[in-house]
A and B are shown apart, each in its own frame.
Chain A
Amino acid sequence: MSAPDPDPLHHPEVQEAGIIGYTAGFLATLVLLGVALLMTELHVMPPGPLLGSISGLAIIALLCQTFLSFGLDITRHNIWKSVSLVLTVPLFILTIGLTVWMFQQLDALTMIPGSNIMPGMTMQPTMLQ
């Protein structure tokens, strides 16, 4: 702390900057989102698989952002960032996933139209609509 600060530009987090990775991350994200847009606009598959596919593309785009554009790795100065990210991602998924799941179940049980998660159950429009 009292030791004179070494040149901040020699800090590993500054030195890890690299134009190639950044360009790759930028282009990859753009292409992936472009493909997702095309697939959606052209309706290349039924809604269910399409949603799955574009979600997959989104995840790949996020990975490109994290590892190419942001350059996250497990070197000494980044290890705690990686660890905390790995610990937080499940919370992200649990928060959204469990919420959506429980409300889908609730909607089905309260027979809210449009929530046809029960196979073979057809919903007629009710007074609710």
Chain B
Amino acid sequence: MFVHLQGPYSFLFGRLTLASIPYDNAIIQFAFGFAAIAAILVVAPVLYYRKIPYLFREWLTTVDHKKIGVMYIILGLVMMFRGFFDGLMIRTQQVMADGPHSAGHLEAAHGYLPPAHFDQIYSSHGTIMIIFAATPILTGLGNIIVPLQIGARDMAFPTLNAISLWLTTVGAALVMASLFIGDFSTAGWVGLIPLTELDFSPSSGVDYWMWAIQISSVGTTLNAINVIATIVAMRAPGMRWTRLPIFTWTTLSTSIIGLTAFPILGVALALLGADRYLGTHFYTAGLGGNLMLYTNLFWIWGHPEVYFLVLPAFGIISEVIPAFSEKPLFGYVTMVAATFAIAGISWVVWLHHFFTMGAGPLVNSFFSVATMVVGIPTGVKVFNWLFTLYRGRLTFATPMLWAVGALFLLLIGGLTGMMLAIPAVNYTVHNSVFVIAHFHCMVLLIVYAAFAAVSFWWPKVFGFKLDETTGKLFFWSFSIGTILLFTAMFGLGFMGETRRLDYLYNTQWFPALVIEEIGVGFYSLSVLIFFAMLFVSIRDRVKNAASADPWGTSRTLEWLTHSPVPFYNFAVTPHVNSRDELSWRYLNNLAATAPEHFEEIHMPNNTPVPLIIGALAFGFGFGLTWRIWWMTGFSLLGIIAVVIYRSFARDKGYHLSAEVMTQLEREPPLGVIAESQYLSKHPLTGAGAH
């Protein structure tokens, strides 16, 4: 039934042999050394301070939406660091490999990366940045903020939430595994067909890429279900739809996209999997396959995915700008309408990624016009933000800098997007780095919004503010890098540089390539500043301790509870009276009115089930990648068995009595970071503690 493959095969290890491990490659040796040192730096303190039980009890088995969100964001930042390294290597290779006289180092004729290695790097750069950096960071933010903004105690399905996290982590782990065991896809993050077919990519690289995306996208879909159900069913009393904060609205719309678009990606990749494993002919270049079918299915998901990422970014901007303008958001209703208009139109524009397929004037015109229509709701949003800023009392704290920076990127990225929406222009610049510069403006807008969100909500989650000086330095260094790199890249696009080149033939591009490299230099600097910011902030955490509303001008419900947020979010469910509940309470001098007394509350228990499912999912993906069938089968049966077992063993959760609640609220616990310390130092009494 399965395709017969050339090369060694054993029952126990499948296609995996010692030769699959690229231990003789200098770059991989460096990467391994780097990863090993990083791992030692993380693991050693954990072992030294004997924190493994704590990690297992409080983090790895948690069902708390805030901790899950924090882990999502840590995962995203780690992967973004890896993706940044890939980007640095791509840029350095291009500046070193320009012209026939450019020198070759290591095993490369030009530059320092041979073509097959370079191809893996740009493929992993794209895959990681979109699917394993931006997506987890935004999902994590939604996880943390949405239940707080709607006054819920947790997500609708806390265990499912943890399963989503671990499935996403498994995808990231597979990508990381490909660095040291075997290789990664050389076919770009989009999976250029028929290059991804077995005939042209016989190694396990494409399989890694395929299963990593497939498994993590299941996690994303499950998370989307959870978010939608939470927003529909778990809102606090008084939280009408017309009072829902914009970030919650955008997370809802993004989850609708996640729910509906990811299955199509699943189909696109599953059919590729059928081709590679069963020998079918969906996308093969002969025997009745259709190459463009893959491209079509991929972009049916691919374009909504872009809005899946950008809509929460818009939501973040819509939360940050009013808070630092000390004005309510201009045009709340139009903002919500524009959000859903963008989400809706995202479903009828996908062909603009392959205008050059040549489906004809009628088809191209339809998709061109549909693409331009996206500009209308986006324009509405931009003007709403500008009118919010207009005559506001502006404070340029770090989150505000990132938010305003994002507006500039949206303008440049959006206008170049309008240019690309014209088929005639598109035919000229298709596959050039002009397109790369355009979509990097858009995804950097998402990164800017993510950094705005991280610095904005950091005190809410951890109880202290991030250091402002290093934070601003980080912003400026990062922004200078962005401007240098992508301005030069737009120019190179017009000069005819196509994308994915490991060797550049035109020496006239050299000055622009050097400017790009300087931009990357600023990015590298900003990464160092980022770590300095974390270090300084954690060192000064007592000095920078945050109150419930550390910015003083926040508007929404999440700022009403303690910072850091206690594990039960709100001791007593707040009753919502206004769209910007906190500012409304400030205006009416009600912000300090605490609940009169406390009542018993119910909390879900932690469970190792999600972690076990994640471990089995890794076995499933790794087994499939290397065609180790016993491992695949065992993992799949294991997942089914665990799910069935879980459906029998009913977990009723635990209660925190009124006395415990009073005690917890009188002496606010350290919350999300150190919940267990509190609980172990002050053992809970009364009805069924843990």
- Residues from chain A with a CB closer than 8 A to the CB of B358 are 106, 109-110
Contact B602 A105 (CB under 8 A): no
Of B81-89, B359-367, B481-489, the one touching chain A: B359-367
Contact A80 B232 (CB under 8 A): yes
- Residues from chain A with a CB closer than 8 A to the CB of B601 are 2
Question: CB of B524 within 8 A of chain A?
Answer: no
Cα-based distance from A101 to B351 in the complex (angstroms)? 12
- Residues from chain A with a CB closer than 8 A to the CB of B290 are 103
Contact A105 B362 (CB under 8 A): yes
Contact A102 B260 (CB under 8 A): no
Question: CB of B300 within 8 A of chain A?
Answer: yes
The residue among A90, A98, A110 with the most chain B CB atoms within 10 A of its own CB is A98
Contact A2 B300 (CB under 8 A): no
Cα-based distance from A1 to B521 in the complex (angstroms)? 54
The residues in B between 325 and 369 inclusive whose CB is less than 8 angstroms from any CB of A are 347-348, 351, 357-360, 362-363
B interface footprint on A1-21 (CB within 8 Å = 1, 0 otherwise): 110000000000000000000
Question: CB of A44 within 8 A of chain B?
Answer: no
Cα-based distance from A88 to B363 in the complex (angstroms)? 23
A106 with B359, Cβ < 8 A, contacts A87-B256, A88-B260 known: yes
The residue among A88, A102, A106, A110 with the most chain B CB atoms within 10 A of its own CB is A102
Contact B600 A2 (CB under 8 A): yes
Cα-based distance from A25 to B228 in the complex (angstroms)? 30
Question: CB of B292 within 8 A of chain A?
Answer: yes
- Residues from chain B with a CB closer than 8 A to the CB of A126 are none
A128–chain B nearest beta-carbon distance, Å: 12
Question: CB of A124 within 8 A of chain B?
Answer: no
Cα-based distance from A115 to B362 in the complex (angstroms)? 16
A interface footprint on B242-268 (CB within 8 Å = 1, 0 otherwise): 000000000000001000100010000
Contact B360 A108 (CB under 8 A): yes
Question: CB of B296 within 8 A of chain A?
Answer: yes
Cross-chain contact of B363 among A87, A105, A110 (Cβ < 8 A): A105
- Residues from chain B with a CB closer than 8 A to the CB of A103 are 290, 292-293, 296, 359
- Residues from chain B with a CB closer than 8 A to the CB of A90 are 347
Contact A99 B602 (CB under 8 A): no
A102 with B351, Cβ < 8 A, contacts A2-B602, A2-B655, A109-B358 known: yes
Contact B602 A102 (CB under 8 A): no
Cα-based distance from A94 to B347 in the complex (angstroms)? 8
Count residues on chain A whose CB falls below 8 Å from chain B CBs. Answer: 20
Contact B357 A106 (CB under 8 A): yes
A73–chain B nearest beta-carbon distance, Å: 17
Question: Taking chain B's interface residues, is the majority helix, strand, or loop, or is none over half, making it mixed?
Answer: helix
Cα-based distance from A88 to B343 in the complex (angstroms)? 12
Question: CB of A91 within 8 A of chain B?
Answer: yes
- Residues from chain B with a CB closer than 8 A to the CB of A91 are 260, 347
Contact B363 A101 (CB under 8 A): yes
Contact A95 B300 (CB under 8 A): yes
The residues in A between 60 and 106 inclusive whose CB is less than 8 angstroms from any CB of B are 80, 84, 87-88, 90-91, 94-95, 98-99, 101-103, 105-106
Cα-based distance from A79 to B602 in the complex (angstroms)? 28
B205–chain A nearest beta-carbon distance, Å: 28
Contact A94 B348 (CB under 8 A): yes
Contact A95 B264 (CB under 8 A): yes
The residues in A between 1 and 54 inclusive whose CB is less than 8 angstroms from any CB of B are 1-2
- Residues from chain A with a CB closer than 8 A to the CB of B228 are 84
B65–chain A nearest beta-carbon distance, Å: 15
- Residues from chain A with a CB closer than 8 A to the CB of B264 are 95
Cα-based distance from A101 to B358 in the complex (angstroms)? 13
- Residues from chain B with a CB closer than 8 A to the CB of A98 are 348, 351
Cα-based distance from A105 to B367 in the complex (angstroms)? 14
- Residues from chain A with a CB closer than 8 A to the CB of B600 are 2
Contact A109 B260 (CB under 8 A): no
A78–chain B nearest beta-carbon distance, Å: 12
- Residues from chain B with a CB closer than 8 A to the CB of A80 are 232
- Residues from chain A with a CB closer than 8 A to the CB of B232 are 80
Cα-based distance from A94 to B655 in the complex (angstroms)? 48
Contact B296 A99 (CB under 8 A): yes
The residues in B between 270 and 305 inclusive whose CB is less than 8 angstroms from any CB of A are 290, 292-293, 296-297, 300
Cα-based distance from A106 to B359 in the complex (angstroms)? 4
The residue among B292, B300, B359 with the most chain A CB atoms within 10 A of its own CB is B359
A121–chain B nearest beta-carbon distance, Å: 14
Contact A102 B347 (CB under 8 A): no
A82–chain B nearest beta-carbon distance, Å: 12
Cα-based distance from A58 to B297 in the complex (angstroms)? 25
- Residues from chain B with a CB closer than 8 A to the CB of A88 are 260
The residues in B between 636 and 676 inclusive whose CB is less than 8 angstroms from any CB of A are 655
- Residues from chain A with a CB closer than 8 A to the CB of B260 are 88, 91
Closest 4 CB pairs of A and B: A2-B602, A105-B360, A102-B359, A106-B359
Q: A103-B290, A106-B360 are in contact. List 10 more A-B contacts (CB 8 A).
A: A80-B232, A84-B228, A95-B264, A95-B300, A95-B347, A98-B351, A101-B363, A103-B293, A106-B292, A106-B363
Give 27 A-B contacts (CB < 8 Å), ordered by A residue: A2-B600, A2-B601, A2-B602, A2-B655, A90-B347, A91-B347, A94-B348, A98-B348, A98-B351, A99-B296, A99-B297, A102-B296, A102-B351, A102-B363, A103-B290, A103-B292, A103-B293, A103-B359, A105-B359, A105-B360, A105-B362, A106-B292, A106-B357, A106-B358, A108-B360, A109-B359, A109-B360
